[in-house]
Structure 1
């Protein structure tokens, strides 16, 4: 009898070429899914091809602000993952347009083809927040759940990994600057989470192993203050730098100036975000809406940072006989 081979399900990942996206695409490809990576510049997504078999991963052009491109991208999809987000506003890329309008557009397109949906928001999303970023994230969650009631929402804390914009930025700063700023005194708490762990949670939601209609808060095994994050970073890159507290008023003044740059180092909205702790809530922990609750043991910051921050040491990977480590990038 001739065996009939079934075509693997298609998963569309919006923002698939980004920092988190490449880890999500890899996790899905390893499970055998066909992956369509929807991004604004598919010509710059060639780095995704080696993550799967020949023809398994297909970058396509889509912009969540342009509805027809979203509809085209989700055709034939069994599941849709939305990772699209911006850290600061510029040009037409506004928080409301990307995080709220874009989230609803993706959800409506997914519903139209009968696909399931996983939406990545942010820890601290709150419609009453002083931060426009956090307000838009909360409104995006609301739009998704209004459209697809059993959608899965993930709220990660600060994500770290080889291409992150947090630890890499400060490690690079430590190469040239004798001081590192501690905004608001460096007392804001974070729960840094490894991008690979977030990707595993997303892949499990695509597998149907995560209950929908609720938000999951994703954090790592450690709660660290901003100061402790910088101390951990400096220990890894083996550099001694002064950690200088910057009062809120001065941080806002600096952000007003730096925020005018094409790629701002700091904005007033980011200062507003730093006034709130970015950690998993006790309620989410008790209800099992966390990585351990999903059966995923999150990896510690100290285990992963040396695997990619070694390049910021004075002698690179040969500093004091250390190696770069072999954690998954």
Structure 2
């Protein structure tokens, strides 16, 4: 526990540094919007001495997403993003749900459809073989190293198949469809209780992100139905393609994580497993940052529309962190 209390704030410092570097690139929108979206999330609570390794996973996810965006611009090689995700998977296996987004990057590089208009880096031609190797080798190397370290530490494969097996006490991974059968299951897949837990948890860690994304999606659908021109239609084709690749990458990461937290059965209930499910807010926050910047391209409207939302989220997170300093007991 003392080690976690020391490393958790260090992980938080790394998280903020990565968020600052990513926001300064202004790939998704103004720096204040990207940094504010990430720094006001409720998962910041994980960096206040939290005695779990979710703080490392959160930092790893943000680093991977930032490197993924850099790969799409030809700034860094594909293996760098693959290595970041592999190490993040080692900190917590649930982050493997981001694998489809990594495969999307590889596909984009093979197809050569994501070239930055202003980039001074020449686009590299990735063959299918090269992309496969740059994704596969880091994943295999980190997986083998993780298993080796676990075995040397006396907590290896046998533990993963018994005491620490995925699925918790009943070894059941998913929320049951129609009926609960163990004390580790609290509701069925399509019940109101399940939806309530899902929404409560997301409103706890990202109170403005999910509602804003829903509103943006509805507004985009409405504009398409009315046959209005896209807000980015005046941009160069290469820039439009780049932004589309960014959006698709973040959308895949967000949907994969939201799908995971909807399907996965929380052994201790949604309230106690908030830390596991909070990680889904990171790709969602980046998607929020880019989506708002696309819907409100004029700076005046962007500040007027987004700044109050970030202030509300920041106040909510401050209250949430303060609440956790007070003594309490589980009901």
- Quickly name the TM-score band, shorter chain normalised: 0.3 to 0.5
TM-score, normalised to structure 1's length?
0.34
Larger fraction in helix: 2
Higher relative contact order (CA closer than 8 Å, sequence separation 6+): 2
TM-score, normalised to structure 2's length?
0.34
